[in-house]
Structures are given as structure tokens and as C-alpha cells.
Amino acid sequence: MERFIAASSHRLSTLGTVSIRRNGWVCQSCRAWGATRLRFSTSASASTSSSSSNSGKLSRQQNDKPYYVTTPIFYVNASPHIGHLYSMLIADVFKRWEVLKGRTAYLSTGTDEHGMKVQRAAELQDLHPKALCDANAETFKDLARKANIANDHFIRTTDPKHRDAVEFFWARLRDKGYIYENKHEGWYCVSDETFYPENMVEKRVSPMTGKSFIASIETGNAVEWTEEKNYHFRLTLFHEKLLQFYKENPEWVVPAGRFTEVINWVENNLEDLSVSRPASRLEWGIPVPDDPSQTIYVWLDALVNYITIAGYPHWQPGSEHTGCWPADVHVVGKDIVRFHCVYWPAFLMALDLPLPKQVLSHGHWLMSNQKMSKSIGNVVNPFFALDRWGVDTMRYFLIHSGHVSGDAEYDNAFIVEKYKKGLQNSLGNLLNRITRPKNWSIRQAVGNMARTRESKLSPSIKYQRKILEQMVKKVDYHMKALNPSHALQEVMDVVFETNKFFSKQEPWAKSKEGDVVVVDQTVFITAESLRMVGILLQPFIPEKACELLDRLGVDPTRRRLEDAVLDGDDSYGTSMVPLGTGAQDSLFPTLPVED
């Protein structure tokens, strides 16, 4: 598995021929280095071949380009929490699944480092914003490494190449007439980095202080009245085009209920979008080209990261796919759906650029039925959780228990329960039961599989074979539906069924009776179940899945999805590692002392 991931690390994009811009825009890195002034042509990044797809049905071709999945880029105003880890894990599972299928795949994650939240957080700590960003960006990088996230890129919005992309993106929007200057007044939420219309705010009373404040109905965060002159994007011009696109792509946002919310927003709340802030109020950001008195809105800045990674703006007409754009899946939390599913497609439509193929919006993690919050004190430190329970234990718990359509409850007792039931007592115990006894030989059973298959099969063995014949198709269905939780549960259901099958067959008793054929059939079909399960588990719990396959003696070159077929490998059965004897030598040993 890892060798396929390593092969994905080559450069994604190539520099195309460029010409002089009419307005003389020059990229930041060229200004900084004083090199030959590389100027970008407006026509160089326009996509004549793909513009028609923006207003119609998205292409469903799966192999026309490398697979590209993204996480949201995370705010650096605070430390990572479990929700950040969950987004990373979902994207990682998608990428690893595609690699398992033999497809070149890329995963991008990173940090969102501009905006009012970061500026204020730095002020409170008496730091320069860049110093705060540098420290916290490293923390997010550390989290990705610790959780075994196979990301190919870690982008920071303070990267010079990203600044270049944002400036060029802005210049093209302006040149095409989609940006204008106007006075703006309204309720602004620093926490959400967005304005809210009058009908989306309400008066509330703080349970902590008893003081009243105006809050966003959507998020509950405080808003403040702001009057300022800034730049606006003509979002209302895309009202019908967005609705038409949604209609022609009914599975563009997952889950469906959240897509309905997006459509309702566009139908009822769409207004032109303020896309800059006065530099007097917000200094920490990318200045508007040719107008340093204004700072580019953090969400316009942040969303461009997805195409920065894909090589924008160095695209020739119709060549976006060479940099793996459009993204196959944007993984986002449910609280930032509007930015990704209304603003982002409108920006892309404005420049005739391809839209991402799908957006997966997942739920939040709760503790004691409350959303995790630093002010409440119920935030889980993901580093502590990974250290305490182990990387693959946390990967298993979060993917298995997390929900796409709703929120999920985080509790240490739930982690222990999932581990014991699924991993320790089912998967690990079954592996011990089939590999450790001296009554039989997996290698012999596998070697004799042709002969035993020709013998009369019991109804139990026929049923188990049927389960295995259907497993990959079922798991792949859930992965295509962007539901990794259901995919993992499908695999674990086979583990539970195989345990029942093995206990019912009683091969230990049959071996004493000398019934070699039945013993070989039972051992073979159980080993096949574990082999296929191990292959499918590689995207979810990569280290433990690798060890499971090592214990079965499965050759590393025969661990692809195409190998996960019944009777698909006759070479395994001799363990590559010591099997051990006690509980602590098991694949899933006893957990540390519980609370």
C-alpha cells in the first residue's frame, strides 16, 4: 500500500507559456526575487474546453486524471481538535482507497492563516500573526504525521505561490466585471468570518455572563454591526446558474439533507458578497491588488488553495486536469458548507473553471451531547487521544462511529467498547484462532483449496463463500457514496459472521476425528475471509492491516483491491512475523488502564 502512496509524490503541475497582462499584474514571488518579470495572460488560465461543464452536468469519468481529495484548510487561531483529525481521516481513507484500486491519487491538507480571527488571536498572545501561524501550522503538520495521514501536500495560505494564485484570481474576477466597490453595512461574525443578513441573526442571552448579545442563528456565535466601504462580488448574477447546476447534479453535495439547505440558501438568501475588508480593520491578509487600503476576504483567499495545489494559474486552456483539477471530493465540516457549495462554485463559474466533482459535508463530534468548545472545556486533544489509545484504534473509532448526516458522541468508554468488540475480541481473536493452533496448517489448506473446493460443501461454507463474494462490491458501493463509516461497518460485519462460522464449524473437534477435508475447507475459508478483510482494511487501519496480512503470510505485492477476491491467492499461509502466544502478543492487545 505504502509503495503506491510513495509513487504519488511527483510534481503535480507544469509551468505553461505566459504572456504580458494588460493591467501589468506581476506575481509576488517575481517581485520579491527581482527576477525577470513573469507576467500572466488572462487567457492563459481560461478554460475553453471545460466552461460548458460549469453550467451543466459534471463529467462522471473516473480515470481521466489523478484522483484528488482535499480537507478543509484549518484555522491556526487555536490548536487542533478531534474534528480536525476526523476531516483528515475521511480524506485519507478516500485517497488510500483509490490507491488500493490502482489509481494515482493525491491528498491535500493545510492551514488557513489570514483573517480577523488569526489577527485577534495573535494580539491576545502579544505575537506577530506570522509567528502564531508558523507555530500552529507545525502543530497541524505534526497531527497529520502522527495520525498516519498520507497527504501529498500541506498548503499554507501564507505561502508565496498561494498569494500569487489569489492575486491572479482576484485580478481575473475584476477584469471580467464581477467585482465592484460599494459601501457595506451589516452583521459581521468574526468567529465565522462572514456577514449575516438581518433575518439570520437574533438576540440571545449568554448563559455564562447573563449579558445579552446579537448572534448568528446558524452558529450561535456573536456578531457585530459593521459599516465600511469595500469590494463586492456579483454573486446574485449566478442565482439561476447555481440552481441549474444543482438540479443537474443531484448528488453533488453529500448528504442530501445538507444539499437541500444549500439550495434553500441560494433560493432565499443570495446577495452580493463582500470580498474585502478595510486594511485599517484587517491588516493580516493579502492586500487587494492595486489597492492596499483593502484586504482580500479570508474565504476568497482560502478557497483558492484547492487550485493553487493543482498548479493554478499556470494552466493552459483545457489543461487543468494535468494538475489533478477538478477535485474529486472536498471534505468539509457541516459549518462551512455555504462557503464551499455557494461561494466557491460561483467564483469558479465566473472564471469558466471546472467545478469540484463532489463535496462531502460531515457532522460534528459532541461530548455529553454538546458541541466541543474551548469555552465549555470539553475539547479533546487529538495528540493525547492518539498517544493513549493508539493511532489505528483512533482511526477505527472515528471512522466507524462518525456520521456523515448527523453528529457523533465522543466518549472514552465508547472507544474501549468499539475496540474490544470489533478489534480485540473479533478480528484479533479470530486471527489468533486460525493462525496459532498446531492442529492444522493454513499453508496446507490454501495449497489444497482446489481439491477441497471440488468436494461437497456444507451449507455453512456455501453461505460464507457467498458473503465473501459480495463483500468488495458492497464496500465499494459505500465508498462511492462517500460513506466510509458504512464501508468499514460492512467489513466488520464479515468479521463477525466469520467468527460465528468458525465457531459453528469446530475445526478443532473435526481434526481430532480425522476429517481432514472439512478442516481444510474451514481453515481455508476462514483464512480467505481474513485475507480479504485485511486487504480492505488497509485504508482504514493501515498499520494493523499490514500486520494482519503479514501474519497470514500474504505477499506485499498481492494486497491490492483486485487481489481481494475469493480463491484469488494460492501463495499465502506461512507467517512472515512471530505469532506470539499470549494476549499481549495479539494483533490487538489489551488496552491501557481505563478511566
Q: Are residues 429 and 338 located together in one domain of the fold?
A: no
Report the pLDDT value the prediction gives residue 35, as an integer from 0 to 100: 34
pLDDT tier, 157 (very low <50, low <70, confident <90, very high otherwise) = very high
Using DSSP, state whether 228 is helix, strand or coil. Answer: strand
Phi and psi at residue 205, in whole multiples of 5°?
Answer: -120, 130
Task: For residues 569-591, give the mean pLDDT.
Answer: 92
Q: Are residues 488 and 575 located together in one domain of the fold?
A: yes
Q: Are residues 439 and 347 located together in one domain of the fold?
A: no
Q: Are residues 443 and 333 located together in one domain of the fold?
A: no
Task: For residues 438-457, give the mean pLDDT.
Answer: 83
pLDDT tier, 208 (very low <50, low <70, confident <90, very high otherwise) = low
Tell which of 320, 336, 362 closes a domain: 362
One-letter amino acid for residue 376 of the chain: I
Using DSSP, state whether 350 is helix, strand or coil. Answer: helix
pLDDT tier, 199 (very low <50, low <70, confident <90, very high otherwise) = confident
User: Residue 307 domain-assigned?
Assistant: yes
CATH of the domain at 226: 3.40.50.620
Tell which of 362, 386, 411 closes a domain: 362
Report the pLDDT value the prediction gives residue 21, as an integer from 0 to 100: 35
User: Residue 190 domain-assigned?
Assistant: yes
- With a cut of 90, say whether residue 350 has pLDDT above it: yes
Who wins on pLDDT, 460 or 194?
A: 460
Report the pLDDT value the prediction gives residue 454, as an integer from 0 to 100: 64
Q: Are residues 463 and 334 located together in one domain of the fold?
A: no
Q: Are residues 485 and 355 located together in one domain of the fold?
A: no
Q: Are residues 202 and 129 located together in one domain of the fold?
A: yes
With beta carbons less than 8 A apart as the criterion, state whether 415 and 398 touch.
no
Report the pLDDT value the prediction gives residue 59, as an integer from 0 to 100: 52
The span from the CA of 562 to the CA of 294, in Å, is 54
Q: Report which secondary-structure segment, H or E, holds 321.
A: none
Task: For residues 348-367, give the mean pLDDT.
Answer: 96
pLDDT tier, 32 (very low <50, low <70, confident <90, very high otherwise) = very low
Q: What digits encode the pLDDT tens for the residues 470-491?
A: 999 999 999 999 999 999 999 9
Report the pLDDT value the prediction gives residue 48, as an integer from 0 to 100: 33
Crossing angle, helix 484-505 and helix 459-480, to 10 degrees?
Answer: 170
- With a cut of 90, say whether residue 238 has pLDDT above it: yes
Q: Are residues 174 and 284 located together in one domain of the fold?
A: yes
Report the pLDDT value the prediction gives residue 207, as an integer from 0 to 100: 73
Which of 430, 448, 424, 582 has the alpha carbon at shortest distance from 520?
Answer: 448
Who wins on pLDDT, 189 or 586?
A: 586
Q: Are residues 73 and 147 located together in one domain of the fold?
A: yes
CATH of the domain at 564: 1.10.730.10
- With a cut of 80, say whether residue 538 has pLDDT above it: yes
User: Residue 539 domain-assigned?
Assistant: yes
- With a cut of 70, say whether residue 309 has pLDDT above it: yes
- With a cut of 50, say whether residue 231 has pLDDT above it: yes
Q: What digits encode the pLDDT tens for the residues 549-566?
A: 999 999 999 999 999 999
DSSP-assigned letters across all residues of 539-574: TTSHHHHHHHHHHHT--GGG-SGGG-STT--SS--S
Q: Are residues 434 and 523 located together in one domain of the fold?
A: yes
Task: For residues 151-159, give the mean pLDDT.
Answer: 97
Average pLDDT in the chain: 87
Who wins on pLDDT, 37 or 540?
A: 540
Q: What digits encode the pLDDT tens for the residues 90-113?
A: 999 999 999 999 999 999 999 999
Q: What digits encode the pLDDT tens for the residues 39-89?
A: 333 333 333 334 444 546 665 444 479 999 999 999 998 899 999 999 999
The span from the CA of 337 to the CA of 573, in Å, is 48
Q: Are residues 231 and 353 located together in one domain of the fold?
A: yes
Domain count, the chain: 2
Joined grid coordinates for residue 146: 502522527
Report the pLDDT value the prediction gives residue 217, as an integer from 0 to 100: 77
Which of 63, 152, 50, 89 has the alpha carbon at shortest distance from 539?
Answer: 89
User: Residue 294 domain-assigned?
Assistant: yes
Report the pLDDT value the prediction gives residue 22, as an integer from 0 to 100: 32
Q: Are residues 119 and 249 located together in one domain of the fold?
A: yes
Report the pLDDT value the prediction gives residue 369, as an integer from 0 to 100: 83
Report the pLDDT value the prediction gives residue 332, as an integer from 0 to 100: 97
User: Residue 546 domain-assigned?
Assistant: yes
User: Residue 201 domain-assigned?
Assistant: yes
- With a cut of 70, say whether residue 595 has pLDDT above it: no
- With a cut of 60, say whether residue 299 has pLDDT above it: yes
% of the chain residues with pLDDT over 70: 86
User: Residue 273 domain-assigned?
Assistant: yes
Report the pLDDT value the prediction gives residue 30, as an integer from 0 to 100: 41
Report the pLDDT value the prediction gives residue 189, as an integer from 0 to 100: 74
Tell which of 311, 346, 362 closes a domain: 362
Report the pLDDT value the prediction gives residue 374, as an integer from 0 to 100: 62
One-letter amino acid for residue 102 of the chain: G
User: Residue 407 domain-assigned?
Assistant: no
Kindly tell me the sign of the dihedral angle through the C-alpha atoms of 119, 123, 124, 129. positive
Report the pLDDT value the prediction gives residue 582, as an integer from 0 to 100: 84
pLDDT tier, 28 (very low <50, low <70, confident <90, very high otherwise) = very low
- Show the domain range for 13: 2-362
Of 34-38, 116-120, 178-182, give the lowest mean pLDDT range: 34-38
